């Protein structure tokens, strides 16, 4: 399945540490994210800031695993048309859960 216009969350234990969204294919987004975070964790040049690599190293020591939750955003029909509300859902979830890894509170 090529999931697009989706929202996702990274959990470690019971804590939601990051919430995001993707307009494009989620698999492509996660592949790029995996490369960038791995590079940041190894101290290599990356589009992810060094502190993000350090954070993941601190919360995911050897033997600890996390969970990724993802779903397609909700489709809404209004008098103006039908659209996917994934960005609004992401903003709401960030404001509600205040994950440590999100750089802003809302969009």
pLDDT of the chain, 107 residues: tens digit per residue: 689 999 999 999 999 999 999 999 999 999 998 899 999 999 999 998 889 999 999 998 888 999 999 999 999 999 999 999 999 999 999 999 999 998 776 65
Which phi and psi angles does 45 have, rounded to 5°?
A: -60, 135
- Residue 39: its pLDDT value, please? 93
Which residues contact residue 1 at a Cβ distance below 8 angstroms, ignoring those fewer than 6 apart? none
Contact 70, 8 (CB under 8 A): yes
Please give the model's pTM, rounded to 2 decimal places: 0.87
- Residue 62: its pLDDT value, please? 87
Contact 9, 69 (CB under 8 A): yes
């Amino acid at each position: 399945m090529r999931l697009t216009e989706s929202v996702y969350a990274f959990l470690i234990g019971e804590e939601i540490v990051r919430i995001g969204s993707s307009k494009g294919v989620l698999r492509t987004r996660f592949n790029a994210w995996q490369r960038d975070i791995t590079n940041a964790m190894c101290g290599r040049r990356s589009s992810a800031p060094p502190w993000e690599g350090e954070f993941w190293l601190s919360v995911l020591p050897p033997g600890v695993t996390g969970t990724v939750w993802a779903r397609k955003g909700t489709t809404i029909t209004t008098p103006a048309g039908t659209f996917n509300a994934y960005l609004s859902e992401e903003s709401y979830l960030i404001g509600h859960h205040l994950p440590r890894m999100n750089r802003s509170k809302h969009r």
